[in-house]
Amino acid sequence: MGSLYEPSVRSSTWYVIDKRLSQRFTTLEGWREIGLGIYTMGSSNIRMFSPRNQFDPESFRDETDDIIYTTSPDAPPVPSKKTLSLIEYKTTAASSVYPTDEKSTPSPDQRLSTVSFYEVVIPKPEKPRLVEPYHVFTDKEKCIVVAIVSATGMLPVLTFYTYLPGIMSIATDLRVSVQAINFSITFFLLVQAIAPIFWLPLIDTLGRRSVYMYSLLVYIITTINLSLSTNYVMLLVSRGFQAAGVASIVSIGCAVIQDIVPAASRPAYYCIYQHVRNATLLISPIIGGAMTSSLDFRCVFILLFALALTYFALILIFLPETLRPIAGNGTVPLRGMNLPLLYRLKLFGSPPHESPLQSARHHPPISPQAILRPLHLFREKDILPNLLFPAIVHAIWIMVTASSSSPTSSAASPEPL
């Protein structure tokens, strides 16, 4: 068994290598494959020396050759592709410039002795960079926050669908027609559709928590007025303000989830948030019908008032501000309304995630352009169709739901006194 590192074997097998090189050197892929072992040994001859057989073994053999070539155990390792970028190739002038005269051409052994091998340059290791988490809340804390916003997200569904079974009772009590009560439904939906245009800029400037509390305060006050309403005008106006107060709740809930949950994990939390609202859609007409038939339609508004007050207390005590320009990833100290009552009273000590290296931030300024910014989305040709199609589907759903819950005009006409 012979070795390529033995001089007698190398000198006797150059004709084998020449034939293989003529095939490999004519293609770019062949040059890549044997680039580590090729050196120019003259004006017209190409010779190769490889510290290791990095090709397939058949490239060193011929069908008529009986010698088997192996790699010497003490041969240096061939660098991998990953380390090729760290290799500097250094060759001497003698490895590339030789006389063309065959008599003066050095032997293969002399040529190989003039070749200097590569030198591996290892750069200094970089200091590891600390990657900040998207948000510092633990999974348990995220679940608590999502539970609060999901429970609060039930309120818009309850407000609309518990009202429908009491249409006849409200018309009779206020001495108006069913068509007038149906108009109050249309007015509610109209205000609920327009109000988010004014709420959304405040959500992105004042913060999620502040707008949550302002919206619920408006909702609580108008719900009290609805439970005490004695005429149709009072009912209609209060119903409009109630829609304005509840219009931003769904958007705030989605924004809070976006603030604390990275994009890869959001679908799971969005599913929980939406499933709670869908379950509320199922039970809302049952609750409204049971309370209206057994008690009075005003009891529905008292129930909504109690729920809104409960959600307001939960947000006031437990929910911190999550708007990233104000709270960052949860390590920025919170002040004022951004700080929940639980942290303010220090019932369980100081806020667990505040960093002493950061200072409190102020909310971004509110500008008139920010209020009109959502309307600029209608300029986008791809956004308008995506908004129009679900809007039509939702409108059909609301029309079917409202019309099926309204009694016929003959049966709904209040009896004259």
User: Taking 50 as the threshold, does the pLDDT of residue 58 lie above it?
Assistant: no
SS3 320: coil
CA distance 53 to 75: 10
176 DSSP 8-state letter: -
Identify whether the C-beta of residue 50 lies closer than 8 Å to the C-beta of residue 4: yes
Across 232-244, average pLDDT:
95
Question: Which H or E run contains 159?
Answer: helix 154-161
Q: Does domain 140-412 have CATH number 1.20.1250.20?
A: yes
What b/e string do you get for 378-400 counting C-beta neighbours within 10 Å, with b at 16 or more?
eeeeeeeeeeeeeeeeeeeeeee
CA distance 19 to 1: 22
| Burial class of residue 271 (count of CB atoms within 10 Å of its CB; 0-12, 13-18, 19+) | exposed
What pLDDT, in 10s, does the model give residues 381-414?
A: 888 888 888 889 988 988 888 788 766 544 444 4
CA distance 194 to 352: 39
What pLDDT, in 10s, does the model give residues 147-185?
A: 999 999 999 999 999 999 999 999 999 999 999 999 999
Cβ–Cβ contacts within 10 Å for residue 239, how many? 22
Identify whether the C-beta of residue 142 lies closer than 8 Å to the C-beta of residue 268: no
Across the chain, what does the average pLDDT equal? 76
| Burial class of residue 195 (count of CB atoms within 10 Å of its CB; 0-12, 13-18, 19+) | buried
> Domain spans of the chain?
2-120, 140-412
User: Taking 50 as the threshold, does the pLDDT of residue 331 lie above it?
Assistant: yes
Q: What's at 260, amino acid-wise? A: I
Q: What's at 128, amino acid-wise? A: P
